[in-house]
Amino acid sequence: MKFTATAVLAASFVVWHGQTYAQQTAPAQAEKPPLDISAVEKSAMDKMIKGDRAGAIADFDAAIAASPSAEAYAARGRMRMRLHEYREAAGDFASASAKDPDNPELLYTRAMAEVKAGQPQKSVDAITKLLKIAPKYPDARLIRGEALRALGRNKKAAADFDEEVEIFENSPLARLSRGYFNLSMGNGEAALEDFIATDRLAPSPEARMAGVMALVESDKCDEAKGHLGPLLAPERQDMTQQEATAAAAYLINCGKEQERAVELLGRVCVKTPIPLAAMKSGGLLAPLFKNLSKTAFSDLDKACPQDIKPQ
C-alpha cells in the first residue's frame, strides 16, 4: 500500500493528538534494539540442518511477530525456498514486496518463487514491474520467459530469452536457459548451439549433458553416444542428475531401453531428486521423454514419490 506524504503527515497528526495527557507525560521507555535478521537466519539454518524444519520456520514467525518488516518476510521466504515450500515462499516475498514495493530484488525473488509455485501469471506481473524499475536487471527475463512458457505464450517467452542473451551476451545462465527453452520447443539444433556456447563461457558437466540431450532431440544418436561413453555401462553407479537424465533420454529415444532408463533415473533419484514434472507434458524436457510409457512414469513415481524433495 502506498501513502502520499500528505496522508502520512495527517495520520501522524491524528495519532499524536489522540494520545492522552498521561501517555504524553509518561516516562520514556527504553527502545527495543533493532531485530538482527542475520542472527535469526543462522539459528533457523542450524535447526534446519538438524532436521527441525518446524523450529526453523518458528524462528522466523517470532521475528515477524516482533517486527513485521520486509526484511523479516524476505528472510522467511528464503528459508521456505530452501525447503522447497514455493507457494508459502511466494506469499512471504509478496508480503515483503508490499512493504517495499519498488525493491527490485524482492520483486525478482517473488517472481522466482511464484513460477516455481505454479503461479506463472503472478510471476510475469512481478517481473514486468521490476523491469520498469530496473530495465537491465540480470536474469529477470529468464524468469519471465519461463513463466510465459508455462502459460503457453511461447513467442513472447522466446523474445525474453533472446533479449536476455542479447543484453548479457557473456552470461552462461542466459545461454543455458535459452537452450533448455529451445529444447522444450523441440528445437534440438538451436538448443545445441546454446549449450555449446554455455560450455565455452563456463565449462560445466551440466552444459555438456544438456548438449547430449540436444543431440538426442536432433536424432544424432551416434554423436550423443560418443559423449555419454562409459555412462551407458550397466554397472555404472555414480551419476549426477544431469548425467542420469541425459543417459535416460538416450536410452529411451536411441536405445529403446525404457526399463533400463527408468531404473537409472530411479537409482539417482534416491540421492538427488529429479523433477519428474519437467519430463511430463508441458515440462522443459517433455519432447525428450514423450516416448516414455505411462507404465514407465508410474514406475518413476514409485521411485521418486515427490517431484522435489528437501535437501
**Torsions phi, psi of 288, nearest 5?**
-70, -25
CB-based contacts of 220, cutoff 8 Å, min separation 6: 188
Give CA separation, 147 vs 61, 119, 214, 271, 283, in Å.
30, 8, 22, 28, 12
Half-sphere exposure of 13 toward its Cβ, with a 13 Å CA cutoff?
6
212: left (phi over 0), alpha (psi -120 to 50) or beta: alpha
Among residues 221, 191, 218, 223, the alpha carbon closest in space to that of 207 is found at 191
- Work out the number of other CB atoms within 10 angstroms of the CB of residue 181: 25
Give pLDDT, residue 71.
93
pTM of the model: 0.78
What CATH number does domain 63-151 carry, 1.10.150.20, 1.25.40.10, 3.50.50.60, 2.60.40.10? 1.25.40.10
155-203 pLDDT, tens digit per residue, is 999 999 999 999 999 999 999 999 999 999 999 999 999 999 999 999 9
Give pLDDT, residue 12.
40
Grid coordinates in use for 190? 538451436
Among residues 177, 149, 180, the alpha carbon closest in space to that of 164 is found at 177
Which residue type does 50 have? K
Give pLDDT, residue 256.
81
User: Which residues of the chain carry a pLDDT beneath 70?
Assistant: 1-35, 273, 305-311
What single string gives the DSSP state of each residue in 280-301?
STTSTTGGGGTT--HHHHHHHH
99-138 pLDDT, tens digit per residue, is 999 999 999 999 999 999 999 999 999 999 999 999 999 9
Give pLDDT, residue 182.
94
Give pLDDT, residue 48.
82
Give pLDDT, residue 18.
40
Q: Alpha-carbon dihedral of residues 288, 294, 296, 297, nearest 10 degrees?
A: 70
